[in-house]
Copies of this chain bind each other. A is one copy, B any other.
Amino acid sequence: MGLSIGQVAERTGLSVHALRFYEREGLLADPVRRESNGRRVYTEDDVDWLAMCIKFRSSGMPLDTIRRYTDLVRQGAGNEADRLELLRSHRAAVEAQIRDLENCLAVITHKVTIYEEHLADGTAYCLWVPPEQQTDPAAW
């Protein structure tokens, strides 16, 4: 039933180093149980929790904030409003990030289009001919 750190690494995609690091950093709801010999034994819940941490991380939540969330959960019932606030503000941050990326994407796509046209109609190699065009931002 219990999982070794290696198995958890395999399932989560985190390295064993990262798993120990996350634990030291207080990102796990409770310090992982140990066998008599001191080895870590993870539960499925631990893996689920880690999966959530990974979602948080990969959406840009700093470890510090994950730790704050973890602390709230560890403290138990009574602070659900705080957790909600943290989640909501992260959601807003993610939404902002997506908007920002979409904006960047539009710019990049525009540039891709310009280059595709240049290359398709063979004008690419003429760009340098009229010196003025060398500094035309569209040709960057």
Contacts and interface: CB of A to CB of B under 8 A. Distances in A.
Interface of A: 29, 45, 48-49, 52, 55-56, 58-59, 73, 76-78, 80-81, 83-84, 87-88, 90-91, 94-95, 97-98, 100-105, 107-109, 111-112, 115-116, 118-119, 124-128, 134-135, 137, 140
A115 B83 contact: yes
A124 B80 contact: yes
B77 A91 contact: no
A83 B103 CA distance: 20
A124 B59 contact: no
Nearest to A112: B87
Q: Mostly helix, strand, loop or mixed at chain A's interface? A: helix
Given A55-B107, A98-B98, A91 B78 contact: no
Contacts of A29: 140
A69 to B, nearest CB: 9
Given A48-B137, A98-B102, A91 B115 contact: no
A123 B83 CA distance: 15
30 contacts: A29-B140, A45-B135, A45-B137, A49-B140, A52-B107, A52-B140, A58-B104, A59-B100, A77-B125, A77-B127, A77-B128, A78-B125, A80-B118, A80-B119, A80-B127, A84-B112, A84-B116, A84-B119, A87-B111, A87-B112, A88-B112, A90-B108, A91-B105, A91-B112, A94-B101, A94-B104, A94-B105, A95-B105, A98-B101, A98-B102
